[in-house]
Amino acid sequence: NHKPRIVVLGSGYAGILTVARLQKLLRQDEADIILVNKHDYHYLTTWLHEVAAGTCDESRITIPVRSVIDTERVQFIKDTVMEVQKEEQRVLLCHGEALTYDYLVVALGYEPATFGIPGILEHSLTIRSMNSAREIRSKIESRFADFAARKNNHEKLTFIVGGAGFTGIEFIAELAERVPALCDEYRIDRKQVQLINVEGAPGILANFDCSLAEYAQKSLESLGVSFRLSTRIKAVDPEGVTLLSQEGEERIAPATVIWTGGIQGNTVVCDRVFEASHGRIPAEADLRIKDYDNVFVIGDCSSFIDKRTGRPYPPTAQIAIMQSQTCANNIAALVRGGPTLETFEPFMKGSVATLGKEDAVGVVFGMKVKGKLALLMKKLIDLRYLYMLGGAKLLLSRLRLSDSVEP
């Protein structure tokens, strides 16, 4: 009697919640569950910009994987997925043996999209993992240190954030809030530090209506951020960046470039193994991949069409969390030989963009929110997630940590 093996790749929002639900739904004798992730911690991707800017200690957003899974029920493998061999139904890992599966969940998250812009990957920084966030934090600090060391300085210390989507805006806001402390620490005049956001579109935060986007822009301008709208990053080199607008090309150097111009699904699987559309693998209504009845794709690797607009939902934690529940329910149904699978029907609650620690803006249940109310909404979203992942125990331990840890 073959016991089916379920392999879940990735312990981000999508993967870890799928496992958390599967371990509740299926008995020990019904299936083996294996979770693979390159690190032995789960991190809250939605806070990475704060670690990158140095306004949040990483301990606040990392959770040991083994503390939230039932290790009697689930085998956790800390390893990097190198390849999925879909016809052989196996996964090749960097260090371990090939892992065969009966059911596979692909939840390997995102990587930066470069759109072929020369030098982006080589010379800019990107917020794509905890390690990359740490790297950005330390690069920012070393730029301040180097600048301070070059006395009689007439230059500017310039940071350019490419892209004014949610990530670019949330990151530059955190950085703007940290700059005064960095200037004090390194004895640099605040006027010598430039924070520039470059956005190809005529306005920031394209998902929001004009009134919210303008509110966000004013809030950031008051923190010392300047905007270059209708301007694209054309190339990045070791010294700086070339911009392109209607007025022509402009070079800014020296400058440190943080690229937040868009994302695509993890290329370990997207296109390399399963055909992708605009960088993400289309998920069917039940979250399986077309022609692969035992393979599910969820989170940022997946693309799920919103029937109302005919376009894919944006890749968000909100979607990843909801997908994990449908995915786990459907795998449990397949293991038990159930005839029908659930259809994924997301219920979108809205979105909030933080503008540093004192301000935020968003739309929640169709209602526009700004300032303290928006911040409160964001906090509630985070608390709900922690509760979903680890119940009251995790929630309380994190609340205690947030009281005690200051970056």
User: Does residue 10 bind ligand FAD (CB under 6 A)?
Assistant: yes
Three-state secondary structure call for residue 229: coil
Tokens of 31: 């299936």
User: Does residue 165 bind ligand NAD (CB under 6 A)?
Assistant: yes
- Which one-letter amino acid corresponds to residue 120? I
Unique residue bearing structure tokens 């960046």: 241
Tokens of 20: 């958390």
The answer to whether 78 touches 69, Cβ cutoff 8 Å, is no
Contact mark string toward ligand FAD, 15..54, x via CB under 6 A: x--------------------xxxx-----xx-xx-----
The answer to whether 111 touches 263, Cβ cutoff 8 Å, is yes
Minimum CB–partner distance for residue 136 and ligand NAD (Å): 14
Between residue 135 and residue 164, which ones bind ligand NAD under the rule CB under 6 A? Answer: 162-164
Q: Is the dihedral of CA 380, 386, 391, 393 positive or negative?
A: negative
Tokens of 199: 């956005």
User: Does residue 389 bind ligand FAD (CB under 6 A)?
Assistant: no
Contact residue for ligand NAD among 315, 328, 334, 361 (CB under 6 A) = 315
Reported residue count of the chain is 407
Closest CA to 31 of 322, 325, 294: 294
- Non-local (6+) Cβ contacts of 308 within 8 A are none
Strand 311-312 versus strand 292-297 pairing type: unpaired
- If contact means CB under 5 to 8 A according to the sort of partner, which of ligand FAD, ligand NAD, none does residue 48 touch? ligand FAD
Is there a catalytic annotation at residue 170? yes
The answer to whether 241 touches 255, Cβ cutoff 8 Å, is yes
H helical segments located in 253-344: 317-335
The active-site residue, picked from 111, 170, 199, 284, is: 170
- Contact segment (CB under 6 A) with ligand NAD among 98-106, 215-223, 304-312, 349-357 equals 349-357
- If contact means CB under 5 to 8 A according to the sort of partner, which of ligand NAD, ligand FAD, none does residue 164 touch? ligand NAD
Between residue 215 and residue 234, which ones bind ligand NAD under the rule CB under 6 A? Answer: 232-233
- If contact means CB under 5 to 8 A according to the sort of partner, which of ligand FAD, ligand NAD, none does residue 80 touch? ligand FAD
Q: CA-based Rg of the chain, rounded to a whole angstrom?
A: 22
Q: Which residues pair with 29 in a beta bridge?
A: none
Q: Which DSSP letter does residue 308 get?
A: T
Backbone region of residue 303 per phi and psi (left: phi > 0; alpha: psi in -120 to 50; beta: other values): beta
Minimum CB–partner distance for residue 6 and ligand NAD (Å): 27
Between residue 255 and residue 274, which ones bind ligand NAD under the rule CB under 6 A? Answer: 260-263
Choice between 156 and 349, CB closer to ligand FAD = 349
Minimum CB–partner distance for residue 346 and ligand NAD (Å): 13
> In the complex, which residue's CB is closest to ligand NAD?
165
Minimum CB–partner distance for residue 152 and ligand NAD (Å): 34
Contact mark string toward ligand FAD, 307..336, x via CB under 6 A: --------xxxx-x----------------
Choice between 15 and 200, CB closer to ligand FAD = 15
Site of interaction with ligand NAD (CB under 6 A): 115, 117, 162-168, 170, 198-201, 206, 232-233, 260-263, 314-316, 351-353
Q: What amino acid positions are annotated as catalytic residues?
A: 170
